[in-house]
Amino acid sequence: MSLVSQVATVLINGLQQGAIYVLVAIGLSIILGTLKFVNFAHGALYLIGTYVGLFITLEVQLTGGKLMEWGYTELGLGWGFLPALIIVPAVVFVVGIVMERFVARPFYDRPDTDQILLTFGLAIVVQELFKILFGGQSYNFARPAWASGPVSVPVIGSFPQWRLYVLGITAVLVAGVYLLIEYTDFGLVVRAGTRDAEMVQLLGIKITRPYLMVFGVGAALAGVAGVVGGPLYAVNPNIGTEVLVPAFLVVVIGGVGSITGAVIGGILIGETLAILVAVAPQWSQVGIYVLAAVVLLARPQGLLGVEEVTP
């Protein structure tokens, strides 16, 4: 393997790892930016996404299942993934809406610390529920049959096909959210809400509905991240909290409320991880925190963040 292809492999690995963080962080970022609500339970949404996805793809094995009886195991494993990619975002979207209505909304006027504590407690409850339902063990989330093997990529050489799909899915979704926020009336209200929610309401726009949608979309993105990330990492009840900390770092580095910022922050963290894993593995985890510290010391509001107007 030549040096060029080695470097290229590391870089694309970093890109792929960053993609998962971007998916989780965008929801976190727009919820924080628009609703001013800190969601420590955002990782729990990722967790729900993974387990619901796992349940759908593994239906055959978990229940003994109809498909098994009919002898369609191969089909069930392979094509269970496409339904999962559609059902999971829908399910988590609904979870997000319910969360906004019954968890977040009563707490908009409470102090930040109460919001953090509440969602932190909620994250624990969700995590424990999944531990009781599915046990504390790790599951193997199989890659879909149509993307399980390696594929030959120019320059890089052989590369796991699924990772390319992850990149593709992320790119499409991020582009979609970007267009939604930047070029639709809905996005206009959301962006205005980020700047000054009170003013938006004074202009006669009912902000309740957009708020619900923002929370739902943010949650759905975390859910998708759970499905596409499932086959890449071990699946256990702790993954929700494990993905939360890097996602928060992405938000802090990129700047709250900025989609572009989340993408840049995610890629930065993903690449830092990948490069350090290749060069100095024992420093890989520490590296992302050093990165966050350096960015914050230079630009406290994040790379693309706007200087906060004091409330």
Partner 1 sequence: MTDEQTEHADAADEGTVVGAAEGELFSLDALMESELFVVGLFAAFVAVFPWVFSDAPVISGFLNGYRDLATLMLIWGIFAMGFNLLLGYTGLLSFGHAAFWGGAAYAAGIFSNLVSSSPILIILAGTVFAALLAWVLGFISLRRGGIYFSILTLAFGQMAYYMALSPMAWITNGENGYTAVEIGSLLGVIDLRYPVPVVGWLVGTWKYVLVGVVAVAAVAVAYRILNSPYGMVFRAVRENEQRAEFVGLNVWRYKLMSFVISGAFAGIAGSLFTIYGAYVPLQSLYWTTSGEIVIMSVLGGVGSLFGPIVGAGIYLYVENIISGVQALTLPFTGPAEWLTLVQEPVVLMEGFGAYWHLILGLVFVLVIALFPRGLWGLFEDVGEAVRSRTGGDR
To partner 1, the closest distance from the beta carbon of 107 in angstroms equals 8
To partner 1, the closest distance from the beta carbon of 245 in angstroms equals 6
Nearer CB in complex with partner 1: 44/263: 44
User: What are 193's two structure tokens?
Assistant: 């809400």
Residue 140, interface with partner 1 (CB under 8 A)? no
Which residue from 6, 184, 201, 285 is in contact with partner 1, where contact means CB under 8 A? 285
Closest CA to 33 of 244, 292, 217: 217
Which residue from 114, 149, 201, 208 is in contact with partner 1, where contact means CB under 8 A? 114
The interface region with partner 1, picked from 59-67, 149-157, 209-217, 287-295 by CB under 8 A, is: 287-295
User: What are 66's two structure tokens?
Assistant: 């109809």
Nearer CB in complex with partner 1: 223/302: 302
Q: Quick count: other Cβ atoms within 10 Å of Cβ 51?
A: 25
* CA–CA dist 128, 244 (Å, integer): 16
Nearer CB in complex with partner 1: 71/281: 281
CB 212 within 8 A of CB 100: yes
To partner 1, the closest distance from the beta carbon of 116 in angstroms equals 5
Query: Backbone dihedral region of 196: left (phi > 0), alpha (psi from -120 to 50 degrees) or beta?
Result: beta
Q: Which of residues 232-271 bind partner 1 (CB under 8 A)?
A: 241, 245, 248-249, 251-252
Nearer CB in complex with partner 1: 25/190: 25
Residue 32, interface with partner 1 (CB under 8 A)? yes
Residue 292, interface with partner 1 (CB under 8 A)? yes
Residue 111, interface with partner 1 (CB under 8 A)? yes
The interface region with partner 1, picked from 75-83, 175-183, 210-218, 282-290 by CB under 8 A, is: 282-290
Which residue from 69, 74, 112, 196 is in contact with partner 1, where contact means CB under 8 A? 112
Closest CA to 50 of 105, 89, 3, 11: 89
Residue 137, interface with partner 1 (CB under 8 A)? no
* CA–CA dist 256, 194 (Å, integer): 10
* CA–CA dist 50, 139 (Å, integer): 11
Residues in the interface with partner 1 (CB under 8 A) total 39
Nearer CB in complex with partner 1: 175/286: 286
- For 15, 94, 167, 277, 289, the CA distances from 272, given in Å and listed in that order, are 10, 34, 17, 8, 10
Provide the binding-site residues for partner 1, judged by CB under 8 A. 32, 38, 106, 111-118, 120-122, 124-125, 128-129, 131-132, 241, 245, 248-249, 251-252, 281-283, 285-286, 289-290, 292-293, 296-297, 300, 310
